[in-house]
Amino acid sequence: MPGLLLGDEFPNFEADTTVGRIKFHDFLGNSWGILFSHPRDFTPVCTTELACAARISNEFKKRGVKMIALSIDSVEDHRNWSKDVMAFNSDAESALPFPIIADDKRELSVQLGMLDPDERDKDGLPLTARCVFVVGPDKKLKLSILYPATTGRNFDELLRVIDSLQLTAQKNVATPVDWKPGDKVMVIPSLSEAEAAALFPNGVTTKEVPSGKKYLRYTQP
Ligand code: BEZ
């Protein structure tokens, strides 16, 4: 996949969206951001994903994360599709709580490496994959995930990942498998025992392993 690496500044692209023309960095302001792409409007898996994103949009808001979707159709299509999405949620009276970028020329999808070569439209042109970018308040890329068009994402996992990103942005820790807020976290390997003891007043516990190496260190953040 070409393009962006973790830590790169996210491009300050300009685009037409369902809420008008935006410059991405201005759209983000000082917030975190999540940009998620979809293969196409009026498609079944994408509709379930956008509906889920809309249902839990308050969870992103609570975490100070601005949401924005993208697919390779026009603003007009996006506006019409948004109505289907909210009706799918049995909430037809409400507006979709985040904008959708219109990338009908696929320029942004190419720039950000989001096209799925295995999924093509009726004219043989590639569709967008299910890409997720999480951008920090410093406008740098903190996470990218790329799913093929045929596999829908898990938006609860995206919230969990954001919780981890936001915690580890503040504290010098790492989160283990299936971590959830409130669970113990792990002390990063580069910290010495003395540094860890000084940094974590709640204490550090070390799990013994056959190698005798003391790298499985837990603390309560
Ligand atoms: C869908 O959203 O359902 C979909 C889109 C493109 C390819 C496969 C599935």
* Whole-prediction pTM: 0.95
Nearest CA to ligand 1 atom 9: 150
Measured from CB, residues less than 6 Å from any atom of ligand 1 are 39-40, 43-46, 119, 127, 149-150
DSSP string, 60-117: HHHTTEEEEEEESS-HHHHHHHHHHHHHHTT-TTSPPSS-EEE-TT-HHHHHTT-EEE
Per the annotation, the verdict on 131 as an active-site residue is no
Q: Given 15, 28, 34, 46, which residue is catalytic?
A: 46
Residue 35 sits at the vertex; the CA angle it makes with 34 and 37, to the nearest 5 degrees, is 145
Q: What is the pLDDT along the chain (221 residues), one digit of tens a residue?
A: 457 999 999 999 999 999 999 999 999 999 999 999 999 999 999 999 999 999 999 999 999 999 999 999 999 999 999 999 999 999 999 999 999 999 999 999 999 999 888 889 888 988 899 999 999 999 999 999 999 999 999 999 999 999 999 999 999 999 999 999 999 999 999 999 999 999 999 999 999 999 999 999 999 98
Count of CB atoms within 10 A of residue 102's CB? Answer: 23
Nearest CA to ligand 1 atom 7: 149
86-89 own/partner pairs: CB under 8 Å, 24+ apart: 86/51, 86/54, 88/47, 88/48, 88/51, 89/51, 89/54, 89/55
Residue 69 sits at the vertex; the CA angle it makes with 142 and 149, to the nearest 5 degrees, is 90
